[in-house]
Each structure stands twice: as C-alpha cells, then as structure tokens.
C-alpha cells in the first residue's frame, strides 16, 4: 500500500486514549479532524530516545505558535497500547496541547500506509516517523521519514507548511 500523500483524504480509524477522568476512551480520527486543521504526527515508539527527546518536545514547545496559525488539534500517534501512551504523556508535565493516541494493533498506521517492520530489533510492527498537516480531512503536507531519520517531520517543518 502506498503511503499517504498530499491531496489524499485522511482515512478514518479508531484510536484509544485515557481522558481527564482516567477513563479509557475510543475515538474516531474523523471525529477529531473533520472541519478542523490538525497535525497528526507519528512516532516509532513511546519512550524511545528520538521520540522522547526531540519529536514530541518540539510539538509541545511550538504548540502556541502552531495554534496561532489556526491549528485546532495536535495529535501524537504511536503503535503502543493506551496504558503506555498514558504513562509516556505524564513524562511531559508541561504539555497542554498534544493529545497522545494509541494505535495498539497498528491498524490505523497500516491504513495510512506508514507501518515499519522492526521485528529484527524485537519491536514488531511500528509506525514510520511522520507529520501530516490535515485540513478538513484532506492532507496538505505529508512529511514522512526514511528509516529512523528525523529530518522532515519536526514541528518546525510543519510550521513551514502553514
């Protein structure tokens, strides 16, 4: 399956997260993105070095600037279970804007065409590192990394597309 690209419609899918009352919730991607400008960025794994030290902190630090450019939602997706995503989110106490969403079985990542087989490293199917700018379910920017790179999917890269 070809990776999602500029001009493509954003596929719908179901992701999981814990709400403010610590209740497990299921949410459709379209319910978060329809009629809105959203950033959906994906990481290979919670608690991994590049994701924890660079990718997520960049979106947290730039959240106000992104929101000032009419971004309604900043969504972080990873092929991890919602319990891991909840624990990982708690390591960013300064975060007020990034929602951490779990794609536990990689079904949504597969629908995006962005799965990455890391079985040889003992990690199974994961997500490629990416950042999508989506306006009312249409992909306006699709910054997808090669391998383990972190060169095109940062918050600064998305800001250039706005």
Annotated catalytic residues are 51
Give ∠ CA 54-57-58 in degrees, rounded to 5: 75
Beta bridge partners of 134: 38, 139
The span from the CA of 65 to the CA of 156, in Å, is: 10
Q: Which token pair is 74?
A: 């900043």
Mention every residue, 6+ apart, whose C-beta is less than 8 A from residue 104.
16, 79, 80, 81, 82
**Closest to 69 measured CA to CA, from 142, 134, 159:** 159
Asked whether the beta carbons of 138 and 38 are under 8 A apart, the reply is no
Name the residue among 86, 100, 85, 99 with its Cα closest to residue 46: 85
């Amino acid at each position: 399956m070809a990776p999602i690209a500029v001009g493509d419609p954003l596929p719908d899918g179901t992701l999981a997260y814990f709400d403010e009352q610590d209740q497990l919730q299921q949410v459709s991607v379209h319910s978060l993105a329809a009629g809105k400008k959203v950033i959906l960025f994906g990481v290979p794994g919670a608690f991994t070095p590049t994701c924890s030290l660079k990718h997520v902190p960049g979106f947290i630090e730039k959240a106000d600037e992104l929101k000032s450019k009419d971004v309604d939602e900043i969504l972080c997706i990873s092929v991890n279970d919602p319990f891991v995503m909840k624990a990982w989110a708690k390591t960013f106490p300064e975060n007020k804007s990034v929602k951490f969403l779990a794609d536990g079985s990689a079904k949504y990542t597969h629908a995006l065409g962005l799965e990455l087989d890391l079985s040889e490293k003992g990690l199974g199917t994961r997500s490629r590192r990416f950042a999508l700018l989506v306006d009312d379910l249409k992909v306006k920017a699709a910054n997808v990394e090669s391998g383990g790179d972190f060169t095109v999917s940062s918050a600064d890269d998305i800001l250039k597309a706005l």
